[in-house]
Chain A
Amino acid sequence: DTAVSQTPKYLVTQMGNDKSIKCEQNLGHDTMYWYKQDSKKFLKIMFSYNNKELIINETVPNRFSPKSPDKAHLNLHINSLELGDSAVYFCASSQVRQGLAGAFFGQGTRLTVV
């Protein structure tokens, strides 16, 4: 079983469209994250949810809206996609309350906006 799974793996879409990426973790972790990896492979956090509550929102345009229906799921919806949104988006989870064992990452979603 995949610990952190995200869908789709690849997403090609036109500017101005709205798209969603879904993430699920089966590790029982209490915290989930979205990270963005740009074309230079630099990784930066976007959002973090702890027990369905938004904890971290790192200067991300409000076209990006995360939603966590429960502890095991964290989705990312992006409105009015722009060329600059092209990147790889990684979902991750960790168990923060019991010590920081490190985050587990999904396989990534490669978003290409044309």
Chain B
Amino acid sequence: AQSVTQLGSHVSVSEGALVLLRCNYSSSVPPYLFWYVQYPNQGLQLLLKYTSAATLVKGINGFEAEFKKSETSFHLTKPSAHMSDAAEYFCAVTNSNAGGTSYGKLTFGQGTILTVHP
């Protein structure tokens, strides 16, 4: 079984400040991890993914995340927040065994709403 916990349902930062959104996972097999962003009344857009290559992953819009196996974490960061980053962010995990029972099924965290103040 897999699960994801996102610490903090709401994060508020000032424009230009560091963004840190926390994600911890639980998985009995090597995981693949993802961050998605959802803007109001929109679908989910893939920000970045960890699929067992480099542990520091860079994504779109200046976001990056680091996979830390010892801490079972995959926190999302951005050095300088922009107003356009305001959205809800979801961390997700799937089984790295593509042909197994998961077939890419994503298990999501509860989401973190990011607010950016001018």
Name A's B-contacting residues (CB within 8 A): 4, 31, 33, 35, 40-45, 48, 50, 55-56, 90, 92, 94, 96-97, 99-108, 110
Closest residue to B48 on the A side, CB-wise? Answer: A102
Known contacts A4-B43, A41-B110; can you find 17 more A-B pairs with CB under 8 A?
Answer: A33-B106, A41-B111, A42-B108, A43-B44, A43-B90, A43-B106, A56-B103, A90-B43, A96-B98, A99-B98, A100-B94, A100-B104, A101-B51, A102-B34, A102-B49, A104-B46, A107-B43
Q: Complex formed: what's the CA distance from A4 to B88 in Å? A: 20
Closest residue to B38 on the A side, CB-wise? Answer: A41
The interface size of chain B toward A, counting residues with CB under 8 Å, comes to 27
Closest residue to B44 on the A side, CB-wise? Answer: A105
Residues in B neighbouring A55, C-beta threshold 8 A:
103
Residues in A neighbouring B96, C-beta threshold 8 A:
100
In the complex, are the beta carbons of B51 and A105 less than 8 A apart?
no
Interchain nearest-CB distance for B5 vs A (Å) = 13
Q: Is B68 an interface position by the 8 A CB rule?
A: no
Out of B103, B104, B108, which one reaches A43, CB within 8 Å? B108
Residues in B neighbouring A102, C-beta threshold 8 A:
34, 46, 49
Q: Complex formed: what's the CA distance from A55 to B104 in Å? A: 11
Assuming the A-B contacts A90-B44, A96-B98, are A103 and B106 also in contact, with contact meaning beta carbons closer than 8 angstroms in the complex? yes
Interchain nearest-CB distance for A82 vs B (Å) = 24
Q: Is B42 an interface position by the 8 A CB rule?
A: yes
Out of B38, B41, B42, B103, which one reaches A96, CB within 8 Å? B103
